[in-house]
């Protein structure tokens, strides 16, 4: 465990310097713009936060996230519509099976949970990271249910090797927990499940600027939901095919500083498919819904804004 501890210490020094540069003039971290969202948490096939009424917007969080990732800034989506923010299968307060966390498992659970709430179609699906991939799965498998997709920071890859190459660029710690099952398994079973408060503090070493509730919710998963979702949803790299087969309009939103993404590949995809638009956010990182909520909301609304927009020629 000593190498892990040393990497965490080095990462803390580096990320603390980065957080200091991102602080406002008042000395407050930029992610202090996050606040706890409103809504009622309903438990069915999945735990779903529900607010408002009208045309439905489905917000899908990313890997190791929860419905609270979509903070109070997104409450306005419930002002004139129905906001649905689930915890993905096996994450947050959504209990999951002992095994079975492939795209079909996640997607079918989403469809069931939405149906339980009386929503069968006309969904505007907004996903972040892993949630963005699942939003494309929904659009591909259930074209009659999805009216539009906004995929924020979507980790789309050509094939599994392309995915592995991109993840290797993130850093040694990310590689360790993505590809070395022994390390991730120890951390997950002995910290996330048995000592979640300590695990949340360690996550804070990696991202000291993330809000505490987001760090706490990052511990709410099982080893199986963690490991199978990485392998079967992200690294399996099938989402580019789902994007191609979708029939609704799809907007990809990506930050120029997001090392998880291959922007050239996203440009290639948007150039190939007339139903796909790519919006580039200068200086944006992987956590755009947290760091750039207004720009994300503008994309959700389909509004023109200061972001660079690229469409198929």
State the pLDDT confidence band at 200, using cuts at 50, 70 and 90.
confident
User: What are the CA-CA distances from residue 125 to residues 30, 155, 250, 260, 266 (Å)?
Assistant: 27, 16, 10, 21, 19
Whether the predicted pLDDT of 11 surpasses 80: no
Sequence-ordered list of residues with C-beta below 8 angstroms from that of 186, at least 6 positions apart, any chain: 1
pLDDT for res 173: 57
Span of 70-79, 105-114, 160-169, 300-309 with lowest mean pLDDT: 300-309
Whether the predicted pLDDT of 13 surpasses 50: no
% of residues, the chain, pLDDT over 90: 68
- pTM for the model stands at 0.85
Per-domain residue ranges for the chain?
Answer: 1-24+96-116+134-143+155-246
pLDDT for res 180: 55
pLDDT for res 61: 99
The label of the residue with tokens 């511990």 reads 219
Strand partners, 249: 148
């Amino acid at each position: 465990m000593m190498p892990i501890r040393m990497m965490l210490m080095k990462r803390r020094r580096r990320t603390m310097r980065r957080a200091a540069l991102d602080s406002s003039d008042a000395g407050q971290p930029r992610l202090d713009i996050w606040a706890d969202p409103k809504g009622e948490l309903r438990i069915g096939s999945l735990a779903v936060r529900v607010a408002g009424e009208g045309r439905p917007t489905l917000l899908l969080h990313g890997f190791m996230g929860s419905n609270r990732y979509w903070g109070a800034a997104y409450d306005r989506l419930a002002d004139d519509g129905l906001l649905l923010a689930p915890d993905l299968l096996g994450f947050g307060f959504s209990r999951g099976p002992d095994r079975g966390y492939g795209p079909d498992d996640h997607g079918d659970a989403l469809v069931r949970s939405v149906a339980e709430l009386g929503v069968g179609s006309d969904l505007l699906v907004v996903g972040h990271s892993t949630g963005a991939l699942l939003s494309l799965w929904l659009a591909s498998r259930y074209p009659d249910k999805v009216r539009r997709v906004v995929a924020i920071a979507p980790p789309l890859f050509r094939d599994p090797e392309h995915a592995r190459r991109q993840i290797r660029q993130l850093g040694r710690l990310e590689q360790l927990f993505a590809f070395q099952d022994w390390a991730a398994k120890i951390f997950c079973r002995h910290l996330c499940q048995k000592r979640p408060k300590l695990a949340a503090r360690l996550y804070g070493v990696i991202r000291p600027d993330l809000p505490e509730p987001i760090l706490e919710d990052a511990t709410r998963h099982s080893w199986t939901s963690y490991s199978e979702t990485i392998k079967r949803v992200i690294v399996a790299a099938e989402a580019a095919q789902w994007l191609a087969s979708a029939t609704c309009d799809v907007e990809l939103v990506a930050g120029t500083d997001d090392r998880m993404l291959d922007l050239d590949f996203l440009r290639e995809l948007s150039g190939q498919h007339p139903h796909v638009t790519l919006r580039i956010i200068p200086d944006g990182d992987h956590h755009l819904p947290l760091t750039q909520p207004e720009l994300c909301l503008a994309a959700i609304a389909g509004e023109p804004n200061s972001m660079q927009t690229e469409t198929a020629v």
